[in-house]
């Protein structure tokens, strides 16, 4: 029985507040842990992790992944991976988070699984970007390697001469063939066996459909094969809780654009009567009970 939960996130987050509320309803003890407080030590007696609330909880839910130095990010993920290696349930799994947060790695994992994704390249120079743009039909979307909520996304054409600020700063970007569309896409939120969907419609004059960029959410019932595609995408990345973005091209083709391993559902909750926070906790409980049963057999 899942009785305690640690959330890696911020107390100011709407999503964390919703999980806290649902934990209260289900009599689950819960604590919110800031990434900056993580620590670990190792000696011949084994490993020790802190804060204790994180280590002592039955399971850990990852609700954000803040930026930091390369050393900070790697160290935090290493600690979380070591905690997971002790047998504690961590959702999503650290290795899955590492794969899903990297946009190029995500696309290659999806391609390996036979999932349709737009042509995608990783480039480090203006010359290579121009060459790739020509190859992809003269119109691409540039994305930071790490990013969310549509931040940093830029349309780039073969006649464009100015590079986006993030490319100039980092020296690398993902270039993806632009899929001509009707100005909307589909977000399917996969939570274990459950799936929830909404249509995201771009604001007037905006090509990005992200809610944070002014997009509008509407209820949507996807075809069964779209849900299956979203599940396959989540499985390819090894994530149990995933926000999968699908794009329907003008020619009727369907594409997977993103797999978000720390997905939000604030907008989605406004267009469904289902309790998504409860579904997240149900998934945590199922994983915990499975891990507990497995340990008992061993």
Please give the average per-residue pLDDT across 205-212, as a whole number: 89
CA-closest candidate to residue 185, choices 145, 141, 123, 137: 141
Q: What pLDDT is recorded for position 296?
A: 64
Question: What domains can you pick out in the chain, each with its CATH number?
Answer: 4-91 (3.40.50.20), 120-177 (3.30.1490), 180-264 (3.30.470.20)
Based on the number of CB atoms within 10 Å of its own CB, is 185 exposed (0-12), middle (13-18) or buried (19 or more)?
buried
pLDDT at 150 over 60: no
Lowest average pLDDT, out of 53-62, 64-73, 149-158, 209-218, goes to 149-158
Q: What pLDDT is recorded for position 166?
A: 85
- Per DSSP, the three-state class of 55 is helix
212: confidence class by pLDDT, cuts 50, 70, 90: confident
Q: What pLDDT is recorded for position 67?
A: 84
Mean pLDDT of the chain, nearest integer? 92
Q: What pLDDT is recorded for position 128?
A: 94
């Amino acid at each position: 029985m899942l009785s305690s939960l640690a959330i890696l996130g911020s107390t100011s987050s709407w999503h964390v507040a919703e999980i806290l509320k649902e934990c209260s309803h289900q009599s689950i003890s819960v604590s919110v842990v800031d990434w900056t407080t993580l620590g670990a030590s190792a000696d011949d007696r084994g490993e020790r992790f802190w804060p204790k609330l994180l280590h002592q909880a039955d399971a850990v839910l990852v609700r954000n992944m803040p930026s930091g130095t390369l050393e900070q990010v790697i160290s935090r993920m290493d600690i979380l991976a070591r905690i997971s290696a002790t047998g504690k349930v961590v959702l999503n799994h650290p290795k899955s988070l590492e794969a899903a947060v990297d946009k190029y790695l995500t696309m290659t994992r999806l391609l390996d699984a036979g999932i349709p994704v737009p042509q995608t390249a990783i480039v480090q120079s203006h010359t290579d970007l121009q060459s790739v743009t020509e190859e992809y039909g003269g119109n691409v979307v540039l994305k930071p390697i790490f990013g969310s909520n549509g931040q940093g996304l830029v349309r780039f054409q073969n006649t464009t001469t100015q590079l986006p600020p993030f490319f100039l700063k980092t020296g690398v970007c993902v270039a993806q063939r632009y899929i001509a569309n009707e100005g909307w896409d589909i977000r399917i939120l996969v939570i274990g066996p459950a799936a929830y969907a909404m249509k995201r419609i771009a604001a007037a004059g905006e090509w990005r459909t992200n809610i944070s960029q002014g997009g509008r959410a509407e209820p949507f019932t996807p075809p069964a094969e779209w849900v299956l595609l979203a599940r396959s995408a989540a499985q390819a990345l090894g994530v149990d809780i995933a926000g999968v973005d699908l794009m329907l091209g003008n020619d009727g083709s369907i594409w997977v654009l993103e797999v978000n391993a720390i997905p939000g559902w604030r907008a989605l909750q406004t267009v469904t009567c289902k309790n998504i926070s409860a579904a997240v906790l149900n998934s945590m409980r199922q994983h915990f009970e499975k891990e507990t049963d497995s340990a008992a057999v061993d």
